[in-house]
Amino acid sequence: MTKLPPVAHVTMPGASAPQPVAVVRAPDAPPDAPPVIVALPEKRKPGRPKGSKSAHVKAREAALAAAMGAVEFGNVADSLDLLRAVMRSPAVPLQERLRCALALAPFDAPKVAPVSPPPPPNATLAQRLEEAFRRTGRGGTFAPAPGLTPEQQAELEAMLR
């Protein structure tokens, strides 16, 4: 079909507003055949302006603002107390309460971490140092000073305790 110059906006049957139309003629149509008027597709509207909030965000903020009026803030001393007050309020939507709970999680319970066992209660200093070196991977074995009698060694260990 060959396209002829466009016609102005025309209200098509069944349409509520004027639409752009084009006048076209089939390439194999005889020259005296009447042209056909075809409605062109409408241009898309721009949609929501950039930076504006969507309907569900506005609804969520309105629900949260209404719920925040019901939260008791009497003894809020710091940000953690504020999060706890919001988290414990049944008027606040569940999604917001869960966000508060996730933000509070690192502060409410300590993280689980490996802890080294305490040294044996009757361990000598040399044994405790060897155990510490073995745990940390530093140093080697700890040998008593050469040339000391057992009594002198016991006295040295008693002084170092």
> Which token pair is 98?
């869960």
Domain boundaries, the chain: 2-39, 76-108
What DSSP element (H or E) covers 158? helix 150-160
CB 40 within 8 A of CB 20: yes
> Between these two residues, 97 and 6, which has the higher pLDDT value?
97
Mean pLDDT of the chain, nearest integer: 77
User: What is the model's pTM?
Assistant: 0.37
What DSSP element (H or E) covers 100? helix 94-108
107 pLDDT tier (thresholds 50, 70, 90): confident
Q: How many angstroms separate the CA atoms of 109 and 93, rounded?
A: 24
Sign (positive/negative) of CA torsion 48, 52, 55, 57?
A: positive
- Among the ranges given (24-38, 66-80, 120-134, 140-154), the one the predictor scored with the smallest mean pLDDT: 140-154
Is the confidence at residue 142, as pLDDT, over 60?
A: no
> Between these two residues, 3 and 108, which has the higher pLDDT value?
108
CB 120 within 8 A of CB 127: yes
pLDDT digits (tens, 9 = 90+) for 1-49: 555 455 555 565 666 666 677 777 777 878 787 877 776 676 777 788 8
Return phi, psi of residue 73, to 5°.
-110, 25
